[in-house]
A and B are shown apart, each in its own frame.
Chain A
């Protein structure tokens, strides 16, 4: 091939000169030309020699023959060609160095990127061109594994870009390392994208953290459900309220968790609907907390969407509405109670008007009879009518006062050992007119007197039994049967009143002892009554430590009332014999006891009619009444006649009743006088003021004559030793 190279070497151009006979100058010129030609030829020869020597030394790797290049390293020629093509096409910069760090190759991408051509760069050390250790090419390093180096490249123009160099060692065909090749990729965009992604991830993580902090610390219950309606997450509040750890929930449906069947069904339906309809929903539910209390929750169910738009999970956030629920319920109950109470009140007022009006007609008629027939049996009949009707009115008013006392919790008992027999007798006496009016047959089965002794208030117990009897009489059609039995049952006295009447509807039974409760309107309404009687019975029996209940087999089948009272243990004897009942007529009571009663009574009232009629009644009962209508006259009168008893109205012109009482108490004779206030005002404060002023009793108008006579009769006559005076009973 060396010969070929020489053969192809063109002849020097100067050989074109001809060989003519030269003149001296011409010769000299030719000589010069020959010398030059000789020099060229020598140069050519040297080149030829050099070429051959270089080939022999193995320094030549290709020969150019004609238009062809023969690469001597034939084994790698094809591969090299391929590599070259690949390298020149690459967008990544490729730089190869020898073992000393000299650049031996740059691909076009490298030239473009760094702005210098092969001629400027090849053969130079990397450090001359790149200030940075950017390529990661280290002369001494040898390794089979490419290493990756990241760096920031900057250009004189101030442009910066991030690169990632993949550096591999180059090996000779004999396996010796001979340099390194770096593929330098511009990763500026990728890094920017990565940076943005990282920031986005961090922002997301922060948000997630904030969300988690909220959820973990919220009192609201939070849970997440997957498509299988299984718990995927529960927050600490839910763990706390149920007392179950999150692990008990996770991966389980409500049913698998062990929720009640009804709750499971509701949750399943609600969650499935959110997955299906992709819309938020609400669900109210209850949970029993660790203390066993039922708590009410209102939850929002919110769909959470996957990237493909499907509902991936449902988040349930529930707030505790227990308090509100309770308030709602209490409010509803209160409103309902108010409605019922209002309805009862209206019924009561209607009934009251009727009841108050009813006696007025016979009273008016009786008065007319008295006027027209001054003598004879008709006069007596009219008088009895008046007596009955007035008594009925008084009873109505008494009942109303009792109701008022019940309402204010001021119903007090004056208890003493008493014989139940006496109380029942008294009650029968009181109820007899009503029983007789209905034509009923009353059957009594009573123990012998003194057998059943209770600690009770005689008039009140009599009132209890009378009310039950009256109730039986009213609600039994004419000519019915009423049975009353009293017997011992262990430590209890049991009084049973049975009738053959209209009975009590089942739905009425629970309310029968409520105030203003009455059987439905109908013919029985004609029996009257205010719906107070049985409420009083219940209250009074309760106060006595007993119980009362009603039973009926239904409408039309009669009813049975059972009263139970605790019996007194031991031998205390009832004092009933010495205490006349004030259920008896006032006039009778007054007449019976007039001998023992104090005689001098002063009445002070600015209502002249009221004072005069009371004086007349007292006079008819054997007292010696004196009347005054104002404070000054009252004091004067008192000093003149020194009464045993003074009945003082409180509201008086000039000087009120309390002042009169205080002054009487300053008189020597007044220390032991019985002072009774008569007032329209009956509050506890009013009573207290009266007692503080020196009164023994405070009676509220309209004053029950029975009660008044009772007080008068029990007062020791003037002149008795003070030590024998009984303690003042508390005012009713």
Chain B
């Protein structure tokens, strides 16, 4: 994944339901839309509050697109893949349920 064009950081809260869903949905979306060209970093807000503050995270789960610019934030369990694709300007895809 070195040299990926997309770099995401996902802030979660342990294995709570919403966080677990966010993790799974993000992975699923990336593998569909960006296979082989993304890097995903999962950060537990409880473990690293400083990073969360620096990234201006206000809620968990939050997915941050660090690369390419501009930086984008997506809040929630990321179950609406179509909307996510739209905001990331990626090809549309059918909505996934969480």
The chain A residue with its CB closest to the CB of B83 is A50
- Closest chain A residue, CB of each to CB of B46: A69
Instruction: Check: B81 CB closer than 8 A to any chain A CB.
Output: no
- Main SS at interface, chain A: mixed
Report A-chain residues with C-beta under 8 Å of the C-beta of B79: 59
Task: Report B27-50 CB contacts with A as 1/0, cut-off 8 Å.
Answer: 110010000000111100110011
Q: Contact mask B43-68 → A, CB, 8 Å, 1/0?
A: 00110011011001111110000000
Chain A 61-103 near chain B by CB (<8 Å), digits 1 or 0:
1111111110101000000110010000000000010101010
Determine whether B85 belongs to the interface, using a CB cutoff of 8 Å to chain A.
Answer: no
Q: What is the CB-to-nearest-CB distance from B18 to chain A, in angstroms, rounded to a whole number?
A: 5
Q: List chain A residues, Cβ under 8 A from B25.
A: 123
In the complex, are the beta carbons of B58 and A104 less than 8 A apart?
no
Taking a contact as CB atoms under 8 Å apart, the answer to whether B23 and A60 are in contact is: no
**Chain B contacts for A157, CB-based, 8 A:** none
A27 touches B (CB below 8 Å): no
> Are the CB atoms of A62 and B59 closer together than 8 Å?
yes
Evaluate contact between B18 and A61: CB separation under 8 angstroms: yes
The answer to the question of B82 belonging to the interface, with a C-beta cut-off of 8 Å to chain A, is no
Which A residues are CB-close (under 8 A) to B57?
64
Give A73 to B61 CA distance when docked, in angstroms.
Answer: 13
On chain B, the residues within 8 Å of A55 by CB distance are 59
Chain B residues whose C-beta falls within 8 Å of the C-beta of A68 in the assembled complex: 49
Task: Output the nearest chain B residue to A178 by Cβ-Cβ distance.
Answer: B17
Query: What are the residues of chain B within 8 A of A10 when measuring CB–CB?
Result: 56
A337 at the interface (CB under 8 A from B): no
Residues of B contacting A67 in the complex (Cβ-Cβ under 8 angstroms): 49-50, 53
- Cross-chain contact B76 with A60 (CB below 8 angstroms): yes
B72 within 8 A of A: yes
* Among candidates B18, B39, B52, residue contacting A59 with C-beta atoms closer than 8 Å: B18
Q: Interface size bucket, B side? A: 35 or more
Q: How far is the CB of B49 from chain A (nearest CB, A)?
A: 6
**Which residues in B have their C-beta under 8 angstroms from that of A63?**
58-60
C-alpha gap A40/B61 in the complex (Å): 21
- How far, in whole Å, are A61 and B23 apart by their CA atoms in the complex? 13
Q: How far is the CA of A179 from the CA of B15 in the complex (A)?
A: 11
Q: Bound complex: CA of A68 vs CA of B58, how far in Å? A: 10
Asked whether, in the complex, the Cβ of A43 is within 8 Å of the Cβ of B72, the reply is: yes
Check A61–B16 contact: CB distance below 8 A: yes
A105 to B76, CA, bound (A): 18
Type the 1/0 row for A177-217, where 1 means its CB is closer than 8 Å to any CB of B: 01100000000000000000000000000000000000000
B68 CB → nearest A CB, Å: 15
Which one, B16, B21, B72, B76, contacts A53 given CB within 8 A?
Answer: B76
Most chain B Cβ neighbours within 10 Å, of A63, A68, A104, A120? A104
Identity of the chain A residue whose Cβ is nearest the Cβ of B79 in the assembled complex: A59
Q: A99-138 interface mask toward B, CB cutoff 8 Å, 1 = contact, 0 = none?
A: 0101011000000000000111011100000000000000
Contact A54 B45 (CB under 8 A): no
- Whether the pair A54, B75 counts as a contact (CB closer than 8 A) is yes
Bound together, the chains give a CA A80 to CA B60 distance in angstroms of 15
User: For B50, what are the chain A residues with a Cβ–Cβ distance below 8 Å?
Assistant: 67
* Neighbour of A5 across the interface among B18, B45, B59, CB < 8 A: B59
Once A62-B13, A84-B14 are accepted as A-B contacts, the answer to whether A123 and B27 lie under 8 Å apart by CB is yes
Interface size on A, residues (CB 8 A): 46
Q: Which of B15, B23, B40, B53 has the most CB of A within 10 A?
A: B15
A64 and B14 in contact (CB under 8 A), knowing A104-B24, A122-B23? Answer: no
The CA-CA distance from A84 to B45 in the complex, in Å, is 13
The chain A residue sitting closest to B1, CB to CB, is A120
A59 touches B45 (CB 8 A): no
For B60, what are the chain A residues with a Cβ–Cβ distance below 8 Å? 60-64, 69
From B17, B28, B77, A172 is in contact (CB under 8 Å) with: B17
Contact present for A51 and B75 (CB under 8 Å): yes
User: Which residues of A lie under 8 Å from residue B31 when comparing CB positions?
Assistant: 124
A120: chain B residues at CB < 8 Å are 1, 40
Interface string of A144-177 (1 = CB under 8 A from B): 0000000000000000000000000010100000
Cα A81 to Cα B1 in complex, Å, equals: 32
In this assembly, does A47 line the interface, its C-beta being within 8 Å of a C-beta of chain B? yes
Q: Closest residue of chain A to B77, judged by CB? A: A59
B75 touches A73 (CB 8 A): no
Q: Does A8 contact B (CB under 8 A)?
A: yes
Q: Which residues of A contact B40 (CB under 8 A)?
A: 119-120, 122-123
Do A69 and B23 touch across chains, with their CB atoms under 8 A apart?
Answer: no
Q: Nearest residue in A to B78 (C-beta to C-beta)? A: A59
Q: Which of B15, B24, B72 contacts A123 (CB 8 A)?
A: B24
Determine which of B20, B28, B72, B74 lies in contact with A104 in the assembled complex, contact meaning CB atoms within 8 Å: B20
Cα-based distance from A43 to B41 in the complex (angstroms): 23
For residue A57, CB closer than 8 A to chain B, the reply is yes
Which among A40, A50, A100, A178 is the interface contact of B75 at CB below 8 angstroms?
A50
Q: Is residue A9 contacting chain B, with contact meaning CB distance below 8 A? A: yes
**Contact residues in A for B72 (Cβ distance below 8 Å):** 43
Q: Is the CB of A119 within 8 A of B41?
A: yes
Name the distance in Å between B73's Cβ and chain A's nearest Cβ. Answer: 5
User: B14 contacts A102, CB within 8 Å?
Assistant: no
For B16, list chain A residues within 8 Å (CB). Answer: 61-62, 71, 73, 80
**Cα distance, A105 to B22, chains bound together (Å):** 12
Per the bound structure, the CA–CA distance linking A59 and B16 in Å amounts to: 10
Query: Which residues of chain B come closer than 8 Å to A118, judged between CB atoms?
Result: 42
Q: A407 at interface (Cβ–Cβ under 8 A)?
A: no
Interchain CB contact (< 8 A) of B58 among A5, A59, A61: A5
Is A721 at the interface (CB under 8 A from chain B)?
A: no
Beta-carbon contact of B20 and A179 below 8 Å: yes
User: Are B18 and A60 in contact, CB atoms less than 8 angstroms apart?
Assistant: yes
Residues of chain A lying within 8 A (CB to CB) of residue B20: 96, 98, 102, 104-105, 178-179
Complexed CA–CA distance, A84 and B47 (Å): 10
Which residue of chain B lies nearest to A104 when distances are taken between CB atoms in the complex? B20
With both chains docked as a complex, state the minimum distance between the C-beta of A635 and any C-beta of chain B, in angstroms.
Answer: 145
Residue B91 interfacial (CB < 8 Å):
no
Residue of B nearest to A80 (CB): B14
Chain A contacts of B3 at CB under 8 A?
A: none
Our pick among A50, A64, A172, A179 for the contact of B49 (Cβ within 8 Å) is A64
Contact between A64 and B52, CB atoms less than 8 A apart: yes
CB distance from A280 to the nearest CB of B (A): 68
Report the minimum CB–CB distance from A293 to chain B (whole Å): 86
Q: Is the CB of A105 within 8 A of B14?
A: yes
Contact residue among A54, A60, A66, A84 (Cβ-Cβ distance under 8 Å from B46): A84
Instruction: Kindly name the residue among B19, B40, B52, B75 whose own CB sees the greatest number of chain A CB atoms within 10 A.
Output: B75
Partner of A47 from the list B14, B22, B24, B75 (CB cut-off 8 Å) is B75
**Within 8 Å CB of B52, what residues of A?**
64, 69
B59 touches A51 (CB 8 A): yes
For the complex, is B94 an interface residue (Cβ under 8 Å from A)?
no
The CA-CA distance from A98 to B13 in the complex, in Å, is 15
Chain B residues within CB distance 8 Å of chain A = 1, 13-28, 31, 39-42, 45-46, 49-50, 52-53, 56-61, 70, 72-77, 79, 98
Enumerate 12 A-B pairs (CB-CB under 8 Å) in ascending A order: A5-B59, A59-B21, A60-B61, A62-B45, A62-B59, A62-B60, A63-B58, A69-B52, A71-B16, A98-B21, A104-B24, A118-B42
Extra contacts, 4 of them, besides A54-B76, A57-B76, A102-B28 (Cβ < 8 A), are A9-B56, A9-B58, A51-B59, A53-B76
